[in-house]
Structure 1
Amino acid sequence: MTRQKTLRHLVACAGLLGALGGAPAHAELPDPVAQAVGQPRLAGQGQMRFLGLRIYDARLWVGPGFDAQTFGAFPLALELTYHRAFSAQAIAERSVQEIGRQRTLDAQQAARWTAALAQWLPDVQPGDRLTGLYLPAQGMRLWRGGQLLGQLSDADLAQHFFGIWLSPQTSEPRLRSALLAAVAESAP
């Protein structure tokens, strides 16, 4: 190998190592999220597509001892970076449809949860990064970048909302597997 090729190879390797191990895995999480999860690590990441269109990229952050089978017992953070624009109402309606895959919802509860999510969620544009923090038995909080947007104190809604991605009954099992990839790898 020539000296120039060796130098290019070393620069490329250094860049790869920096990308893999440079900053702490939680460097992009808002500080309150990182503190609530406690020693967060990236469990996995994936992409939501519909009819071939990129909808959002997703990353899941979990703390020590996280168990995917009982995800509702652990604080966790889910980050979505959108590639399309959606209204809060559209996201809320779709979310409640997905929750309906996990459990039976009567029309009154579905309407109540849709209204609560529509008030809590923002409209999104391509490039928006939302981070949701799930807190067991407490509810959930939401950030756009580093700015807290709000919180919901309905613990049942919160667990089912995060179940959209993490429940075995998800409509997107491949995305669930990608989000839980590092957890599955470390399991005995």
Structure 2
Amino acid sequence: MANPARWACLCLLLTVMSSAAADWRTTLPTAQRLGGGDFTWFGLRLYTARLWTVGLVHDWNQPFALELLYHRSMSRDTLVQASLEEMRRLGSGSVLPQNITTWTEAMEAAFVDVRPGMRITGLYLPGEGCRFYVDGKLSREIADPVFARAFFSIWLDPQARDPQLRQRLLGLADND
């Protein structure tokens, strides 16, 4: 007869492994694409963004996923630094130096160097934080709701760098 403690450990291990291997759609099985569009920089198409929501509108009180499909190679350091720059810009001085240090480390652990065709998806979990998936595999969970809001604001804040992309993501303008 098998040891009950051994079975319990095996079940726990399988649960942890399956949740770590599951992609963001496991958490948002009813998510539908709200909108999407391309982000270009000096005429170069860097990525295609898509916003997935559980309702017909974006709501910061509901979980959502932002998917970025890359068309150009970029280093992890470039992704981290560009994200931090936008988070600072949108934070209007409310982003503290200790936030920058913690957030830099978190993004360095979550992101990778990207090549054309790679996909990074961020899953926003209100009041909890967020998770990042690289090509459908969980890369990092960040249990910091302030970070999560600041990060996703890069695309969804009214002062976002690319207001047309924001409108498209929110389904308020024609999608590409």
TM-score range, shorter chain: 0.7 to 0.9
Letter in 2 for 1:76: F
TM superposition outliers: structure 1 runs of 4+ over 6 Å: none
Report which of the two has the higher share of helix: 1
Q: Does the alignment pair 1:165 with 2:155?
A: yes
Give the C-alpha shift of residue 96 in structure 1.
1.0
Letter in 2 for 1:39: T
Identical amino acids, percent of aligned pairs: 36
Q: Please, what TM-score do these two structures have when normalized by structure 1?
A: 0.73
CA distance in 2 between counterparts of 1:132 and 1:35 reads 13
Larger Rg: 1
- Give the match for residue 37 of structure 2: 46
Q: Does the alignment pair 1:155 with 2:155?
A: no
**How do residues 24-103 of structure 1 correspond to structure 2 at under 5 angstroms?**
32-64=23-55, 66=57, 68=58, 71-103=59-91
Number of paired residues?
151
Q: Is the 8 A contact 1:92 1:115 kept in 2?
A: no
Flag structure 2 segments of 5+ consecutive residues without an equivalent.
1-20
CA distance in 2 between counterparts of 1:179 and 1:129 reads 17
CA distance in 2 between counterparts of 1:131 and 1:108 reads 25
Q: Please, what TM-score do these two structures have when normalized by structure 2?
A: 0.78
Flag structure 1 segments of 5+ consecutive residues without an equivalent.
1-29
CA distance in 2 between counterparts of 1:115 and 1:158 reads 14
Give the RMSD, CA atoms, in angstroms.
Answer: 1.9
CA distance in 2 between counterparts of 1:166 and 1:177 reads 9
Q: Is the 8 A contact 2:22 2:137 kept in 1?
A: no
